[in-house]
C-alpha cells in the first residue's frame, strides 16, 4: 500500500534535519515526483530545482 502523506512527512523531516546531505537531495527528488503525481506542479518544480542545485553542488537558495 502506498502512503503518500507519511512519505511526504518523512522526506520533509529528512530535509529539516540535514538539508544539505545527499539524502536530503534525494528527498527533494522524491517530493518532486510525489507532488507531480498529485498535480501540485509548483511544489514539484521547486523541489526539483533544489535537487538539481544540490546535485551540481550549488546552494539551493
Structure confidence by residue, pLDDT tens digits, 5-49:
999 999 999 999 998 999 999 999 999 999 999 999 999 999 999
22-47 burial code (b ≥16 CB/10 A, e <16) = eebbbbbbbbbebbeeeeeeeebebb
Give residue 57's pLDDT: 82
Place of cell 502512503: 3
Residue 42, CB half-sphere, CA atoms under 13 Å: how many?
0
Mean predicted confidence (pLDDT) in 44-55: 96
CA–CA separation, 38 and 1 (whole Å):
16
Predicted confidence (pLDDT) at residue 60 exceeds the cutoff of 90? no
Tell me the pTM: 0.87
Residues near 32 by beta carbon (within 8 Å), at least 6 away in sequence: 44, 45, 47, 48, 51
Amino acid at each position: 500500500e502506498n502512503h503518500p502523506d507519511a512519505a511526504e512527512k518523512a522526506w520533509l523531516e529528512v530535509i529539516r534535519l540535514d538539508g544539505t546531505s545527499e539524502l536530503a537531495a534525494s528527498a527533494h527528488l522524491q517530493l518532486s515526483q510525489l507532488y507531480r503525481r498529485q498535480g501540485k506542479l509548483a511544489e514539484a518544480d521547486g523541489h526539483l530545482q533544489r535537487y538539481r542545485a544540490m546535485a551540481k553542488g550549488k546552494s539551493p537558495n
